[in-house]
Amino acid sequence: MSVTTPSEVDRAEPPARPPSGPEGRRPTVSRRRRRLRPYILAVPAVLLCVGILYPFFVGVSYTVFNFSAANPNPAFVGLRNFAEITTSAPFWNSVRVTGSFALTATAVETVLGVGVALLLYRGGILGRILERALIVPLMVAPILAAIMWKLLLLPEVGWVRPILEGLGVTGYTGTDSPLWAFLWSVVVDAWIYTPFVAIIALAGLRSLPASPFEAAAVDGAGWWFTFRRLTLPMLWPYVFVAVIFRLMDSLKMFDIIFGLTTGGPGDSTTTLQINAYLESISYARYSRGITYMVVLWAAVYLISMILVGYLRRLQNRTAGEAA
Amino acid sequence: MNSERSARHGIGRRELLRLAGLGTALSAAAPLLSACGFGGGPADEGGSAADDVTGAFDWKKHDGKTVKLLMNKHPYTDALKAHQAEFTAKTGITLQIDEFPESNYFDKVTLELQSGQGGYDAFMLGAYMVWQYGPPGYLEDLNPWIRNASATHAEFDPADFYPNLLTAGQWDFTNGNPLGGDRQWMLPWGFESNVVAYRKDVFDKLGLVPAEDFDGLIELAKTIDSKASSNGFGDMYGIAVRGSKEWATIHPGFMTMYTRLGLKDFAVENGRLKPLMNSPEAIAFTDKWAGMVRDSGPAGWTSYTWYQASSDLGAGKAGMLFDADIASYFQNENTAAAGKLAWHPGPKGPDGNLNTNLWIWSLAMNSASKNKEAAWWFLQWAESKEHLQYAATQGQHIDAVRQSVATSAEYKDRLAPNTGFLETFEQVIDSTKIQFTPQKNFFDATTSWAAALQDVYGGADAKATLDELATSLEPRVND
Amino acid sequence: MTAPGRPPGPETRRRSPVAAVAANIALVVYFAFSLLPIAFIIALSLKADRDQTTTYLWFSPTFDNYRTVLGLDGGGSSYVRFFLASLTTSVGAVLVSLVIGIPAAYAAARWRFKGSDNLMFTLLSFRFAPELLVIIPLAVIYRQLGLYDTAVGMIWVLQLVTMPLVVWILRSFFADFPVELEEAALLDGYSRRRVFVKVVLPLVRPGIAAVSLLAFIFAWNNFIFPFTLTSSNAQTVTVSSLAYLGGNLVRFNLVAAGAVMAALPPLVLALFIQRYLVRGLSFGAVKG
C-alpha cells in the first residue's frame, strides 16, 4: 500500500484551468473588505462558540459559591472550595489514581500500539486483512464498550474467567482487588485506544524516508540497532502526537472506570472525574463537584501546554535535520 | 515533510496561554453570569397552590391538559402504561411518560430538578431522595392537596396506606430528626422489604432450613457453597448480596441485618450527627458480613448491583439472596430457577426482632411544575385503590402499599404460588420502615460506607477502615 | 513480501520464517483480544432470556431480541424512531459544522488574522474539556430556551463534538493546497468566492467527505449530551440502547441487540475513510 498524502493526490490531477472570465474584477475589491474577509468567514464559528462557551463559564462561576442542594441560595465564598478540596484526602487520592491511570494507560497503549503498527507494517496477507479490523474498537460508543466489558469481566457471567481457566489461570475474581480493578480499567482503555496509537504510528512508518534505512542495511546494521537508532527516533514525532492525545483523554477518562468499578473497590479507582461526578450529580454538591472539574481542566491545560511546547521543539528539530 | 507542516499548524504555547487568560477574565465576571442556575423551587411558605382549588371535586376539571412524567423503567411504570387509557378516559388528561433505566434514572432526576424549570410535573423517587431533593424546595408538599376536598376525590382514603410507608415521605429537613411531621413530600407507590429468598429444592435436598440468627446464616451460606455443587446443583455459591460502590449496597440486606442486631448508623448529639459505623458491635458485624461474602459469596462481588445479585439467584448460581423481596419474586418465572424459590424473613435479632429496612418507589410532584392541579389529578388517580388494585393484580405492582389491596383475596391468590412470600411479608410488615437516620448527605454517607465495606472485604482491618470512615464522614454530614 | 508501490522503509530486513511466524502469532493474539468483546456482544444478542447469564458459547441462537428491540414482535418499541432521531441529529450536526466550519477553516489556513489563533485553540479545547463541566448549566439553559429534547438543541450542542474536528482537519487540508493555484485563478480575473467554489472546494472534496463521516461517527456515539438533554422526542439510539438495563428482569440480551445495531453505522462508515483516518483522528497533526 503506498503512502500518499491527500495533497499529493490533489496535485496528481491537474487543476482545472478556469476559463477566462470577466476582466478587472479583482482590483475593485476594496482593501477594507479584503481585511475584513477572514473575519466575515470566521464570525459564524465564533458566534457558535460563544453560545456554547456561555454554559461553560456559568459552570466555572459555580466554583466561587457554596452551591448545593442543601444550600440552594448560595453565598460567594471566594476560593474556599479550592482550599477545602486541595486539603482533603479524597482529592489527593484521586490525583494519585488519575495520574497513575493516565500514565499507565498511555504507556501501555503507546508500546502496544507501536508494536502492532510494526507488525502490520511487515505486510503479509494476514496483516493486510487484520489492518481492516484495527479500527473496530474505536468505533464502538465508549459507554457501550464499558457495559460490554463489565459483563465480560464478571466472573459468574463473562468469558474472561473460562478463558483464563482454559489457560490454566485460577482464582480469577474480576475487579475485586484494587490492583486488578486498576489493571482491568487500563486493559479496557487499551482495548479501545491502542488502535488509535497504532493507526498513527503506522502512518508514520509509511512516510519515513528510505535512504537512511538503505544506508544502514548496506552497513550491515542489525534489526535492533536499526530500530533503536533509526526507526524509533524518526517515528517519535508521530507517536508523540498520539501520546499527547492519549494522555489528555485518559486524564479525564470517566465512562470506562465508572462503568467497570464506579471507583471501587474502596477508593482505589476513584479518579478526579469520578469524584467530580459523585459530588456534582450523586451528592448534589454542585460547587464542590465543579471545583474538582475545574482543577482537572486546569491540569489538563497545563500539561498539554508543556507537551505541545515539547512537540514543537521536536518537530522543529526533525525539520531542521531533514533540511 | 509532514512534521514540518504540522509544526506550523500545531497547537501553540502562546495560544494556550491566551485562552487560559480569557478563561480567567471571564470567570472574574462570574457573578454576573451566575444569575442563571441558582435557587431552588419556590419557598413553601406563603400558601399552597392547592388552596386555590375550590368547588366540588370533578375528575374532568382538567380535560385536555397534558401531564409530563419522568419515570424509572420498572414494572410499576409498565402497569401504569397499561392502565393509562382508563385515566385519560376518566379525566381527559393525557400522560406523557418518559422512562429511563434505573442505572441513570436518578442522574436524570437530579439534573431535571436542579434546572428548576418544571419540565416534568411528577416523577418517581424514594425516601432517601426526599432528604436530598426536599431541602432545596424541589418537592411540592402534598398534604394541602390531600386535605382539600375540592381537590381530592372522596375515596382517596390516605389512612389505607401502611402507616410506615406514609411516614417515610414526611420529614422536617432537620438533620437527625425522625421522619414524620405535617408535610407529605411523596406518596408510596410500591415497596420492597428486604428478606431472604432461597432455593427450596437445594434446601430440601441438602436437608437445610432457613437460618434464624445471623451466625446461622453465615454457616448456612457456607454449607450451600461447599455442598451444592456435589449434589448436582452446578457451580452454586452460598449467598448473593449487593457489593458495588454505591449507596444502594448498604440499604437492603446489610442495613436490615445491621438494624436487627440493634445497630444504628448515627447518633444525634446536640444537633450534630455522630457516625456509629465504628462502634465495636458495628465493626464486628461488618467484619462478619464481609467474611460471609468472601467465604460464600460470588467472585467479582464488588461490582454486584441488585440485578447481578438477583439474576444469579434466577440463573441457579446462588443458593440464597438477601435483598428486596420483589427482586427475587421476579426471578421466580422465566428463569432457570423458576418455581423453585421460597421466602423467609431472614435472621432475627438477638431479641427476636425482625426490624427490616425498606425501599419505597413513590410519586412526588415537582414544585416547579406549571401544571400542578392536573399533576395532582394524576397523582391521586395513580395512588387510588382503583389503579393500585389493577396494577397489583393485572400488572406486576408488588408489594402493595395499600392495606386494602394487600389484603384482597385477588392479590393473595396471585402471590400464593410463591412459597412463603406472603407469610414473610406479613411477618415483617409491622417492623418494616426506614432504618436510617434522616440527613441531607445520605448518598455521600452510604456510598462511602459501601467503599469501606469493600475495603474490609478486600482484607483491610475493619476497625481501622471504619474508624477512618467515621472520622472523615463526621464533618461532611454536619456541613 | 513487498507490495508494489510500498516505499522501502524501516522494515525488518531479516525475513526469517521464525520471525514471520512469531509476528503472525503476535498479530493473531492481539486481534483475538481486540475482537473478543465484539464476538461476546454478538453472541449475547442472540441468546434467549434464560441463556443470557448461564451459557458461554453453546446455546441455540435466536433473533427474538432483534425482533423485540425493533418492535417486530408487536410489543411496541421506539428503537426505530430513536435510530432515525440519531440520523437526523448526527447528519444535522455535521451539516451545520460544514457550512459554518469550512469558511472558518479556510480563513484560518489562508490568513493570519487577529484572534485566529484564539479561535482555533478555543475550538480545540472543546476536545479536551470535561463535558460534565457544562452539563449542569446547560440543562437549565436548554429548558429556558425550549431546546430541551429537540433535534435543534441536539444539533447545536453536538457542535462541541463536530465543529473542532471539521475546522482543524479542514484547515490542514486547505493549508496543503498550494496558494499559487488560487493566485493564478485570481489573476485570470475570478472573484475570491468563485475561486473558492470552483477551484479550492473541488480539490478538498475528499477531505470534506472524510471529515464528514468521522464527525458523523463521533456525533452518533456521543452519550452524555443526548442523555442529559433529551428524553422521548430527540433521544438517540446510543442512549436508548441502555433502556433495557432495568425493569423486573435485566435484559442484557436486548441491550446487546440494541448496541449491535447502534454500532453498525459507525463501523460501516469507518471502512470508507480508512485513508483519511490518521489525519482525522489526530486533528490534522499527522497527515498519513
Q: Do the chains contact at A282 and B447, CB–CB below 8 Å?
A: yes
The answer to whether residues B145 and B376 touch, using CB atoms and an 8 Å cutoff, is: yes
- This complex has an ipTM of 0.86
> Bridge partners of B402?
B161
* CB < 8 Å to B368, chain A: none
Give the closest of C136, C176, C232 to B111, CB-based. C136
A-B Cβ pairs (cutoff 8 Å, strict):
188
Per-residue pLDDT at A319: 67
| pLDDT band, very low/low/confident/very high, at A295 (cuts 50, 70, 90) | very high
H-state helical runs in A18-88: 31-61, 80-86
pLDDT exceeds cutoff 60 at A83: yes
Per-residue pLDDT at B17: 42
Q: Do the chains contact at B331 and C135, CB–CB below 8 Å?
A: no
pTM higher than the cut 0.90: no
> To the nearest whole number, what is the mean pLDDT of chain A?
83
Element (H, E) at A101: helix A89-121
> Bridge partners of B292?
none
Q: In B86-114, which positions are buried (b, 16+ CB within 10 angstroms) versus exposed (e)?
A: ebeeebbbebeebbbbbbbbbbbbbbbbb
Per-residue pLDDT at B14: 46
Mean pLDDT by 10 residues, chain B (479 residues): 38 43 41 42 63 92 96 93 96 93 88 86 96 93 95 95 96 94 96 96 96 97 93 92 95 97 95 96 97 96 93 94 95 92 97 96 96 96 96 93 95 94 95 96 96 96 97 92
Task: Establish if C131 touches chain B: CB-CB under 8 angstroms.
Answer: no
Q: How far apart are CA C224 and CA C129, in angstroms?
A: 13
- Tell me the mean pLDDT in the region C132-142: 84
Q: How far apart are CA A184 and CA A182, in angstroms?
A: 6
Per-residue pLDDT at A320: 67
Give the closest of A72, A89, A173 to B299, CB-based. A173
Q: Which of A38-52, A288-302, B38-52 has the highest mean pLDDT?
A: A288-302
- Tell me the mean pLDDT in the region C194-221: 87
**Angstroms from A42 CA to nearest CA on chain C:** 4
Which of C212, C208, C202, C206 has the alpha carbon at shortest distance from C269?
Answer: C212
Task: Establish if B102 touches chain C: CB-CB under 8 angstroms.
Answer: yes
Q: Do the chains contact at C175 and B103, CB–CB below 8 Å?
A: no
Task: Establish if B335 touches chain A: CB-CB under 8 angstroms.
Answer: no
* CB < 8 Å to A285, chain B: 444
Which A residues 58-87 touch B at CB under 8 Å? Answer: 58, 60-65, 67, 69-74, 76
Q: Do the chains contact at A290 and C133, CB–CB below 8 Å?
A: yes
Per-residue pLDDT at B1: 35
Q: How far apart are CA B397 and CA B402, in angstroms?
A: 11
Q: How far apart are CA A228 and CA C272, in angstroms?
A: 35
Per-residue pLDDT at B76: 95
Q: Do the chains contact at B31 and A176, CB–CB below 8 Å?
A: no
**Angstroms from C76 CA to nearest CA on chain A:** 23
Our CA angle for B309, C244, B383, nearest 5°, is 85
Task: Establish if B75 touches chain C: CB-CB under 8 angstroms.
Answer: yes
Q: What is the pLDDT of residues A48-57, one digit of tens each?
A: 767 777 888 8
Higher pLDDT, B327 or C191: B327
Q: What is the pLDDT of residues A100-115, one digit of tens each?
A: 999 999 999 999 999 9
Higher pLDDT, B65 or C276: B65
Q: How far apart are CA C184 and CA C197, in angstroms?
A: 15
Q: How far apart are CA C273 and CA A80, in angstroms?
A: 49
Look up residue B425 and give its three cell numbers: 411479608
Q: How far apart are CA B152 and CA B376, in angstroms?
A: 8
Biggest CA–CA distance in chain B, Å, is: 84
* CB < 8 Å to B19, chain C: 118, 121-122, 125
Which B residues 137-196 touch A at CB under 8 Å? Answer: 137-138
Element (H, E) at A142: helix A142-153
Per-residue pLDDT at A18: 39
Task: Establish if A130 touches chain C: CB-CB under 8 angstroms.
Answer: yes
> Bridge partners of A68?
A71
Q: How far apart are CA C221 and CA B256, in angstroms?
A: 41
Q: Which residues contact B130 (CB under 8 A, 6 or more apart)?
A: B139, B169, B171, B185, B186, B364
Q: Do the chains contact at C12 and A213, CB–CB below 8 Å?
A: no
DSSP state of B272: E
pLDDT exceeds cutoff 50 at A20: no
Residue linked to cell 436542579: B114
Q: Which residues contact C115 (CB under 8 A, 6 or more apart)?
A: none
User: C79 vs B98, B379, C49, C70, C266, CA distance in Å?
Assistant: 14, 29, 19, 6, 17
User: C138 vs A51, A57, C64, CA distance in Å?
Assistant: 11, 11, 39
Q: What is the pLDDT of residues C18-44, one digit of tens each?
A: 888 888 999 999 999 999 999 999 999
Q: How far apart are CA A143 and CA A85, in angstroms?
A: 29
Sign, CA dihedral B266-A72-C232-A254, equals: negative
Per-residue pLDDT at B34: 39
Q: In C5-18, which positions are buried (b, 16+ CB within 10 angstroms) versus exposed (e)?
A: eeeebbbbeeeeee
DSSP state of C63: S
Sign, CA dihedral A18-A23-A27-A32, equals: negative
Residue linked to cell 425482625: B354
Describe the crossing of helices B385-393 and B372-382 by its angle, rounded to 10 degrees. Answer: 50
Phi and psi at residue B377, to the nearest 5°: -60, -40
Substitution target from C15, C30, C112, C160 for chain A, most A beta carbons within 10 A: C30
Percent of chain A with pLDDT over 90: 39
- Tell me the mean pLDDT in the region A146-169: 91
Q: Do the chains contact at C10 and A152, CB–CB below 8 Å?
A: no
